[in-house]
Amino acid sequence: MKERHHRLGSMLEAVLGSLFRKPATIRYPFEKFVMPKDFRGQPKFHSEKCTGCRLCIRDCPAQAITITKIGEKKFEASIDLGRCVYCAQCAETCPRKVIDISTDFELAQLERGKLKVVFHAEAASGSCPEESTGD
């Protein structure tokens, strides 16, 4: 019986203590969560910098990257986010820093085909290439 009262007292202490503490959670998605600095989210490909060395493909453990030559010194990348394990090995390997790792984490899709992101080379005018998802 004494043990039961001890448990009840511990539980009451925990409940009363939580009334005056700041919540440990946020009201997601109504409040946006800021990811930590070193968070590894979606890879972003900058085609205007790519020379086609394909080191990113070689070092990708999930085989999620495809590089396609579409013209003289023009390459576009396709990254399958359904296969990607977000290890950032592709970004670390690339000698020209063509791939950045973003903090984007809201990547859920209802259709598997929409997880394939294509970074087109047409926008090679210094701005970030336009992304499109596969349909």
Say yes or no to pLDDT of 6 above 90. no
pLDDT tens, 61-81? Answer: 999 999 999 988 899 999 999
118 contacts: CB under 8 Å, gap ≥ 6: 76, 77, 78, 131, 132, 133, 134
Residue 115 lies in a domain: yes
> Where in the sequence is the domain holding 103, given as residue range(s)?
35-133
| Residue bearing the bigger pLDDT, 11 or 85 | 85
Q: Is 105 helix (H, G, I), strand (E, B) or coil?
A: coil
| Residue bearing the bigger pLDDT, 130 or 19 | 19
Considering the entire predicted model, what is its pTM? 0.70
Residue 79 lies in a domain: yes
Residue 89 lies in a domain: yes
Residue 106 lies in a domain: yes
Say yes or no to pLDDT of 130 above 80. no
Residue 100 lies in a domain: yes
- Identify the band that residue 127 occupies on the pLDDT scale cut at 50, 70 and 90: very low
Residue 21 lies in a domain: no
Residue 121 lies in a domain: yes
What one-letter code names the amino acid at 115?
L
Say yes or no to pLDDT of 53 above 80. yes
- Identify the band that residue 27 occupies on the pLDDT scale cut at 50, 70 and 90: confident
Q: Which two tokens stand for residue 45?
A: 């490909």
Specify the CATH number for the domain of residue 97: 3.30.70.3270
The burial class, CB within 10 Å (0-12 / 13-18 / 19+), for 61 is exposed
Residue 2 lies in a domain: no
Q: What domain count does the chain have?
A: 1
Mean pLDDT of 25-42: 88
Say yes or no to pLDDT of 123 above 70. no
- Cα–Cα distance, 2 to 43 (Å, whole number): 58
